[in-house]
A and B are shown apart, each in its own frame.
Chain A
Amino acid sequence: MSNALTERTPTDWNGQVMQKRISGRYAAERRFKAMGFFAVALSTLFLAFLLFTMVGQGLRGFQRTEIAVEFDFPALTSGASAASLTGENADAALNSMDIPGIVELAVTRQYGADGSALLTPAAAANVRQMLVDDPELVTAKKRLFLPVESRLDVAYKRNGEPAAEQTIKMLSEKNVLQTGFNWTFLTGADATDPSGVGIWAAFKGSLMTMAITLMLAFPIGVFTALYLEEYAAKNKLTDMIEVSINNLAAVPSIIFGLLGLAVFLTLFGMPRSSALVGGLTLALMTMPVIVIAGRNAVKSVPPSIREAALGIGASPVQVVFHHVLPLALPGILTGTIIGMARALGETAPLLMIGMRAFIPSAPQGFSDAATALPVQIYLWSDEVNQGFVEKTSAAIIVLLIFLLGMNALAIYLRNRFETRW
C-alpha cells in the first residue's frame, strides 16, 4: 500500500499533456465568460435598437410641413374690424366669418382649383386660433404658414406616394414649404387625418385613470400591508389574504379586464369607456404590487423602534401610524411609483372595458368616454395611413419619457431616503 504511494510519480504540470489540458480549461473559461458578456450585450443592443427606431421615427411626428398662403384679410372678410373679434362677442363673430370658406378662397387663389386639397382638414381651426391670439391680423395682408395634408407631409419628410412626391417637388421649387413644430400633436385629440391628431386627450384620459388608481390602490395597499405585517394573527383568514395577494400579483392583466367588464360594466352598470372604470380596474391590478412593496418596507423597520414606542406608552395603533409608517414610507412610495408606472403602460385591461373608442376631444369628467395613452398608441398602430407611423412612434416617445421619469424618481427616492438599519 505505502509502496504504491511512494512509487507514484508526481504530476508533471509543466509537461505537454497537462499544459494542453490547462489551456483547454482556460479556453473554456474564456468562452463561457464571452457567452455571458454576449448575452448582456445582446439585451442592451436590443434596447438600444428599439429606442433608436422609436426616436428616429418619432421625432418626425413632432414636426409638420407648412405651406405659405397669402391672406388678404380685408378683401376676404369684406372688412371685419379687429374690435369685433375681441370682447365677449368674439366667438359669435368668428363663427359668422366662415373661416373655412376664407381659407379655401385664399388657397385656391394662390394654388389653383386643387389648392384646398393641399391643406390639412384642421387648417381652418388653425387660422381661427391665430385670429383669437391676434385679432389685429384681420385687418392685415399677411403670409401665413398652414400645415399641409398628411400624404404631402409624409412625402416632404421622406419618401411618399409618387403623386404626392410630384406635388412636393413642384411646391419646393416655388419655395413655399417649411418645417415647423407640430403643436397640434401636444394639444390635440384623435382625428381621422394623421396631420391633425394630438395626444392631449389620450394623455388627459391616462392622467384621470391614474388619479383614480392612485386614490384607491395606495390607501388600500398600505392598509393591507400594515395589517398583514403588524396586526394579523396567524390564522386561516390571514393565509387566505396572503394567497390572494400573491395570486393577484401574478394574474395576467387581461383577466382584470374581464373582471372589469363583467363586474363594473355589466353588473354595476358603470359608464363604458370611462376613466372611472379604467381606474378601478387598474387599481385592483396595482394594489398587490403596493402591498408586496409595502410589506417589505414595513418588515425592514427594526423591532427596537416599536418596542421603544410601546415602552413610553404608545398604543399599538399609535406605534404603527406615528413611528413605523413614516419610517417605511420611502420604501412604500418607491413600490407605489413602480406599480403606477406599470399601470400607466398597461393596455390590455383597458381594451376590455371599451377604452378603445374614437375620442375626438379631451374627456371633461371621470364618467366621460376616454382613452389612455397606450391604448391610443395601439389604435394608431392599427391605422393603414402612412402618416400614423410617425405619430405612433412620437406618442411612444412621450409615454417612454414619462415611464423612465417615474422609474428614475423611484430609484432616486430609494437611494435618497431609504435607511439601511
Chain B
Amino acid sequence: MTGTALLFLVLGLGLVGWIFGRARAASFVRAAKGGRRGQVNSLPSYHGWFVAVCAIVPPIIFMFIWQSVSPALVTNMVLAAPAAANLPQDGFARAAILSEARAIAQGFQATAFQAQSDALVPLYKEALSYYKWIGFAGTMLLLFAGGAFAFTRLKPDFRARNKVERLVMLALLFASLIAIITTLGIFASLIFESYQFFSMVSPFEFLFGTNWNPKNVITPGADNGYGAIPLFWGTIFIGAIIAMIVAIPLGLMSAIFLTQYASARVRSWMKPILEILAGVPTVVYGYFAALTVAPAIRDFAVMLGVSNAASDNALAAGVVMGVMIIPLVSSMSDDSIAAVPNAMRDGSLAMGATKSETIKKVLLPAALPGVVGGILLAVSRAIGETMIVVMAAGYTANLTANPFDTITTVTVQIVALLTGDQDFGSPHTLAAFALGLALFITTFFLNYVALRVVKRYREAYE
C-alpha cells in the first residue's frame, strides 16, 4: 500500500469518526429534549470534529516520522543480513550498490548494472515490506486508539466546542510560524553552505577578486577563479543601470499619464494592459529577448560600427528586463502620486500653473519618497531576476561597460553552477550558495529600506 493510499484511508476513517461522534451527540440532544434545555454543551458537529481530529492527527504525525526514519532502518536490516557481508568497504561504491538494489526492489528500475545489486534485491524487498507493515500497523493502532479515546469522552456536558476551537487556534498559530521557519530555513541553509565554501575559498578572493573562472578543485592559497566582482558588476549593469534607464522614465510617465491626463475610458483599457505586461512569465521575456531583441540590437550595433557586438549582449537582457519592470514602477508611482493630498494640487492649479507645471513642481516632489521606494523595490526585483538573463545574457564573466558586449550576472552563474551533474558538496555547488547569500542580503537590504521609506512617507500625509 502506497503512502498516498494510506493517507486517504486515514482521512476516510476520520470521516467515519466524524459521523459516529456527531450521531452520538445527536442522541444526547434527542435524550435531552424532554429535560432541561442546554444540557448538551456543544453542537453535535463539534463532537464529530473532536473525534475526527483525535483520530487523524496522531497517525498523520506518525506517518511523517516513519517516512523519514524507515529508510535508515531498512538499510540497517539489509546490511545485517549475511549476504551483505561481502559488500565493498568503500562508502561510495557501497552506497551505489545499495541504492540500485533499492530502486529495483521498489520497481523504479528494471535491471541491475552492478552484479552485486541483484543479490540484495530480495533482501530489500523483504525489509521494505517488513517495515511497511510495521508502519501500517502503527498508523492504524494510533488511529483507532485516538478515535476510541475521543469517543468515550463524549458526554452531554462535554465541552467539545472549546476543545475543537483550541485546536483551531493552535493550527492558525502553527500556520503563521511557517513563514518564520521558511525565512530561517533560507537563512540557515545559505549561511551553512556559504560557511563551507568560505572554509575552502577565502572570502577576500570571493568579494574582491576580479577573475571569475571557477575551478572544481581548490588549491589553497592560489587563485581558484572565484572572484565575484565581474558578476556583481554585471548584475548592477544589467539590472540597476540598463533596466532602470528603460523602466524609470517609461514607468513614471505611464503613471503620470494614466492618473493625470487619461480619461476614465482610456485608463480602464490601459491598466489591464500594464497588468498583462506584469503577468507575462519571465521565461517568455527571456525567449523574446534571446530570439528577437538580441539579434536586432547586434545588427544595429554592427551598423553603428561596433565590431565586437555579441549576440548575447547586455543591452538586450537589460532592455527587456526594463520593460518587465515598467508595471511595477508605474503602480508604485501611481500609489504615491494618488497619496499626495488634493489640497496641494488644487492650490497649485488655482495659482494658474498648468497641469504639467503642477505635476513637475508640486506632485512629483511631494511624491518623491514613494517613487524612490518603488524604484528601490524595482532594482531589487531586477537584480534577482533569473530567466531573462539566463536566456539572453551570456555566461562569460566580463568586466566591461560596453552594452553591446556579453556580460554575466549572479543569477546566471548560480544556474550555471548548479545545473551540471555535481556532487552536493563540490566547490561549484557551494559557490552557488555563496552567490545566493550575497543576492539574498542585497535584496533584503533594498526591500527593507524601500518599505521604510514608503511607510515613513505615507505617515507624513496621513
Contacts and interface: CB of A to CB of B under 8 A. Distances in A.
B250 A396 contact: no
B284 A54 contact: yes
A211 to B, nearest CB: 12
Contacts of B310: none
Contacts of A347: 281-283, 386-387
Given A29-B357, A40-B258, A44-B273, 4 more contacts: A26-B354, A223-B172, A248-B179, A345-B281
A378 B419 CA distance: 13
B257 A251 contact: no
B326 interface: yes
B384 A254 contact: yes
Nearest to B383: A252
Interface stretch (A95-103, A152-160, A166-174, A255-263): A255-263
A268 B424 CA distance: 14
Given A28-B356, A250-B377, A284-B182, A381 B391 contact: yes
Interface residues of B, number: 89
Given A36-B256, A348-B415, A251 B186 contact: yes
Interface in B404-422: 411, 414-415, 418-419
B148 interface: no
A229 B228 CA distance: 43
Given A36-B257, A42-B250, A43-B254, A403 B279 contact: yes
B287 interface: yes
Nearest to A232: B176
Nearest to B355: A29
B176 A268 contact: no
Contacts of A141: none
Query: Is the interface on chain A under 10, 10 to 19, 20 to 34, or 35 or more residues?
Result: 35 or more
Interface stretch (A121-129, A237-245, A328-336): A237-245
17 contacts: A47-B277, A50-B280, A224-B178, A228-B176, A244-B180, A252-B411, A253-B386, A255-B186, A258-B432, A266-B424, A345-B281, A374-B283, A377-B287, A378-B287, A381-B286, A403-B280, A407-B279
A421 interface: no
A399 B287 CA distance: 13
B115 interface: no
A356 B176 contact: no
Interface in B280-339: 280-288, 290-292, 323, 326
Interface string A347-388: 110011000100000000110000000110110010000000
A266 B256 CA distance: 49
Contacts of A42: 250
A254 B175 contact: no
A244 B281 contact: no
Interface stretch (B137-145, B395-403, B440-448): B440-448
A33 B168 CA distance: 55
B103 to A, nearest CB: 11
B443 A252 contact: yes
B394 to A, nearest CB: 14
A315 B165 contact: yes
Contacts of B387: 347-348, 378
A231 interface: yes
Contacts of A181: none
B172 A38 contact: no
B433 interface: yes
A250 B390 CA distance: 20
A115 interface: no
A54 B287 CA distance: 10
B261 interface: yes
B80 interface: no
B110 interface: no
A396 B179 contact: no
B275 interface: yes
A223 B415 contact: no
Contact of A255 (B275, B390, B439): B439
Contacts of B381: 250, 252
B71 interface: yes
A169 B439 CA distance: 55
A81 interface: no
Counting chain B CB atoms within 10 Å of each CB, which of A46, A227, A316 scores highest?
A46
Contacts of A31: 356
B391 A378 contact: yes
Nearest to B267: A40
A254 B424 CA distance: 17
A268 B69 CA distance: 11
A266 B261 CA distance: 55
Counting chain B CB atoms within 10 Å of each CB, which of A255, A259, A287, A351 scores highest?
A255
A146 to B, nearest CB: 30
B17 interface: no
Q: Is the interface of B mostly helix, strand, loop or mixed?
A: helix
A404 to B, nearest CB: 7
B385 to A, nearest CB: 7
Interface in A287-340: 287-288, 291, 315-317, 321
Nearest to B285: A50
Contact of A246 (B189, B250, B257, B447): B447
Contacts of B176: 223-224, 227-228, 232, 241
Nearest to A261: B418
B180 A241 contact: yes
Contacts of A69: none
Given A54-B284, A244-B179, A251 B276 contact: no
A392 interface: yes
A411 B288 CA distance: 27
A269 B186 contact: no
B179 A287 contact: yes
B443 A250 contact: yes
Closest 5 A/B residue pairs (Cβ): A252-B384, A345-B281, A36-B257, A223-B175, A39-B253
Contact of A259 (B185, B288, B380): B185
Contacts of A252: 381, 383-386, 411, 439-440, 443
A345 to B, nearest CB: 3
B257 A37 contact: yes
Given A44-B270, A248-B182, A251-B440, A258 B283 contact: no
A375 B272 CA distance: 27
Contacts of B380: 250
Contacts of B282: 345, 347-348
Contact of B68 (A248, A266, A268, A356): A268
B384 A224 contact: no
Contacts of B85: none
Contacts of B26: none
A341 interface: yes
Given A36-B257, A43-B254, A240 B270 contact: no
A399 B280 CA distance: 9
B433 A258 contact: yes
B217 interface: no
Counting chain A CB atoms within 10 Å of each CB, which of B186, B272, B323, B354 scores highest?
B186
A25 interface: yes
A132 to B, nearest CB: 25
Interface string B55-83: 00000000000001001000000000000
Given A36-B253, A39-B249, A227-B172, A258 B359 contact: no
Contact of A258 (B270, B279, B414): B414
B86 interface: no
A32 interface: yes
A317 B170 CA distance: 12
Contact of A40 (B177, B270, B287, B357): B270
Given A247-B447, A248-B179, A389 B291 contact: yes
Contact of B287 (A316, A381, A404): A381
A130 interface: no
B451 interface: yes
